Amino acid sequence: MQTGAPLKTRHEEILNAIVRTYIETGEPVASRALSRRRSNTLSPASIRNVMADLADEGYLSQPHTSAGRVPTEKAFRFYVRSLTASKIQSSEFERLRSELSELPTVGARVERSSYVLMELTRNVGIVAAIPAFEQELDQIELAPLSDRRLLIVLVTRDQIVRNRVVVLDHPIGPDELTSIRNYVNRNFSGWRLGDARRELLRRMAEERALYDAVLRNLQVLFQKGLLDVDPAPEVHLEGASNLLGLDLHLTREKLRELLRALEEKQRLIELLDLFLQQAPGDLAVHVGLEEVHPSMKDLALIGATVHFGSGMPGRVAVLGPMRMHYERVMAAVLHTSRALESVGL
């Protein structure tokens, strides 16, 4: 077999059969066992010859001299190109869509979706919502706490809710807080936050602000960050403990490094951005993720880009071992991403 040449049909069939068998059993695949599983009459000797060719091409490895063959990263990459997602019942889709629609915020939907992915696949579910830098104000709420502390709740039009507790130099009464809330919501709901901040600064700079109690108190809260937001994405990961039972050929220290990496929000965003660059609605399957972290060499990522109802982009993905049931995971990712998009905001 010529090195680097396209695989012959028989070689493709046998390679895919080896990968499927290895996914099911987790054991090296022998030619005799493969011959028994195949419906045709290809002999074990003929299969051995094909397996030798595939090994020469880098698709198979042999952990022990007397053992069968194990598919390599190259083999898994070839295998996933031939796959399509299995079907999920429409009733399951409607159930998830209904469940997500009852949740009030993007953050709640992101968290729930990652849990659903973990449950459906028994791997690691990751969902991220990435806000636009310039967001629009929906409303604010102000709730007094003890010791001159104040809870500021800021809701943007994409239904992301941000809470901040500030400490006031002087107490502001409940009626005054209600007046401030009504003033901001009445005047600036629907405004881009940057424009609202600039207009508030202009109004507070006017001479009449000295005689307007609402604007005076509003200035205090403005200086405490009333309309400031951190455009950090909402990212949630569920099921990292599922990696502990896998044979990832990692030392205990390397496994700890992997789990620490998955706890870093920025590292997760880098992972999703690097491998999920396809058009919304299309699935991406990537095998071997050492570009992100050396300890991810034996992992695979299946994901999709989504657009929430407000147009805010997001990512839906499952992280798991190379030896995973790809069709089932692909279906779970498509199912979850379409449910998220259909809910809107």
Highest mean pLDDT among 156-165, 185-194, 291-300: 185-194
- Averaged pLDDT, 138-144: 94
pLDDT at 99 over 60: yes
Residue whose structure tokens are 């790809």:
326
Helix axes 174-188, 213-223, angle to 10 degrees: 80
pLDDT at 251 over 80: no
Highest mean pLDDT among 281-285, 297-301, 306-310: 297-301
Confidence of residue 32 (pLDDT cuts 50, 70, 90): confident
Confidence of residue 326 (pLDDT cuts 50, 70, 90): very high
- Averaged pLDDT, 99-123: 90
Which residues face 339 on adjacent strands? none
Per-residue H/E/C for the chain? CCCCCCCCHHHHHHHHHHHHHHHHHCCCECHHHHHHHCCCCCCHHHHHHHHHHHHHCCCEECCCCCCCEEECHHHHHHHHCCCCCCCCCHHHHHHHHHHHHCCCCHHHHHHHHHHHHHHHHCCEEEEEECCCCCCEEEEEEEEECCCCEEEEEEEECCCCEEEEEEECCCCCCHHHHHHHHHHHHHHHCCCEHHHHHHHHHHHHHCHHHHHCHHHHHHHHHHHCCCCCCCCCCEEEEECHHHHHHCCCCCCHHHHHHHHHHHHCHHHHHHHHHHHCCCCCCCEEEEECCCCCCHHHCCEEEEEEEEECCCCCEEEEEEEEECCCCHHHHHHHHHHHHHHHHHHCC
pLDDT (0 to 100) of residue 209: 62
Contact 340, 100 (CB under 8 A): yes
Considering only residues 212 and 57, tell me which one the structure prediction assigns the higher pLDDT: 57
Phi/psi of residue 273, each to 5°?
Answer: -65, -35
pTM, two decimal places: 0.72
Q: Are strands 60-61 and 283-287 parallel, antiparallel or unpaired?
A: unpaired
